[in-house]
Amino acid sequence: MVILVLNCGSSSAKYQVYDWDARDVLAVGVVEKVTFPGSWIEHKAKGKADFTLKQDCPNHTDAVNLIIKTLTDKEHGVISDMAAIKVVGHRVVQGGEKFTKSVIITPEVLKTINEVKDLAPLHNPANIMGIEAAQKVLPGIPHCAIMDTAWHQTMPETSYLYAAPYEWYTKYAARRYGFHGTSFLYVTKRASVLLGKDSSKINLIICHIGNGASINAVKNGVSFDTSMGLTPLEGLVMGTRSGDMDPALPFYIMSKTGMKPAEMETALNKKSGLLGITEKYTDRRDVQTAADAGDKHAALAQEIEAYRLRKYIGSYFAALEGNVDALIFTAGVGEFASAMRAKFCQGLEKLGFVLDAEKNNLARTRNTESYISADSSPLPVMVIPTDEELVMTEDAHALLEGSYDVHTKFKYSFEDKVYVNKARAAGLEKDLSKNPALKKIIAQPK
């Protein structure tokens, strides 16, 4: 059985193809610049050379068609024809309060996703376009929605309500929703295995740090609090998003400049964060290079980002009443940027998080889960590479088979102590051949 998962953005369409019977990834890729001239596909298939092709995709239907064409290509493809695909999983950023778990997409489900698109204006419309496009290209098979927000529906009112007029919540569903749910679910389940803890009793602070970034307090195996809010704009300093600020600041700037609400929304979502401070960079690698070269704005951006995250770690430590089993980093920056992890953990020793500099520097691979804390650290600090696509794949398969349920009543394959990600295991062998010292940090199930 072949399962396709799609993550469609406003101008991109990411995909992964998974062979369920072999429990292995067959291909991954992305179509970039969808709806713009000069679109192209980047395709990586198991056992084959990487493939890139320029082809204009004026809309998402064209992008999905290009993906299918590539997947079934005699030279670069991994399946004989579209009939091999039995179910499609779609990432949906915002499900509102309507969904506490993944669902098979029906006209009613799609209508509900469309109704809450105002809560994620930069994401949900693109997700919907991707769903509708895939349904046209792959009709007659189930399409499933995997909601970013579903994981956070366990948060108590004290975590998700704003101290604003209550009718804003009852009339307009204005509340904190949180995002990166599939990532936090995966990392929580893997941490339970690695730490030898019951997944219903584990308490964690998880930092998902990529271009978009959020932090999650996990209490007794479920989401208790998270930094993103009504939209993905709230919380941490991100690549182009401001994160937390005085709500009066936008009004002040609008009064001074004459900016309109749509222009301010664009400024806060696409021109702020690291880009706003450095005036040049969004990629952490570029920021690090510039800071190393003496760029004061780049160095300042790093310090502001690290300081904001440390404050959240401290507040979530308090929210969990000090009952924390581990501090975990994941996503692109969390998995690779050892220099930033060091800044994030600076001064947290009194909370019990003591970093080991050598281990931290070694942990720059997606092919292993690792400990980066000192042996003497009262609490472990870990790097657990996320796998959102696997969560989407397993949800879609279970929905197809009729065995799916909310995560507290459903067991994923990666919750098993003997679980192995074949692609990552092969990658780790290559990593170890180049750097045997990696053995020092590999985390094994307890």
Q: Which residues are catalytic, by number?
A: 148
Strands (E), 286-429: 326-330, 370-371, 381-383
Contact criterion met (CB below 8 Å) for 201 and 180: no
Say if CB 94 and CB 120 are below 8 A apart. yes
Residue that is written with structure tokens 């493809």 in the block? 77
Burial (CB count within 10 angstroms: exposed 0-12, middle 13-18, buried 19+), residue 231: buried
Where do runs of H (alpha helix) occur along 81-123? 107-115
**Number of Cβ atoms within 10 Å of the Cβ of 346:** 13
The Cα–Cα gap between 329 and 209 comes to 7
Strand order of the β-sheet with 12-19 is 51-54, 40-45, 24-32, 12-19, 2-8, 85-92, 143-147, 103-104
| 359, 442 Cβ separation under 8 angstroms | no
CA separation for the pair 106, 118 (Å, rounded):
20
- Amino acid letter, residue 90: H
What residues have CB less than 8 Å from 166, skipping those under 6 apart?
none
Tell me the C-alpha distance between 189 and 44, whole Å: 28
Strand ranges for 94-189 from DSSP E: 103-104, 143-147
Closest-CA residue to 384 (of 214, 232, 192, 198): 192
> For residue 149, which amino acid is it?
T
Q: How far apart are CA 212 and CA 242, in angstroms?
A: 10
DSSP label at 373? Answer: B
Query: Which residues lie across from 226 on neighbouring strands?
Result: 216
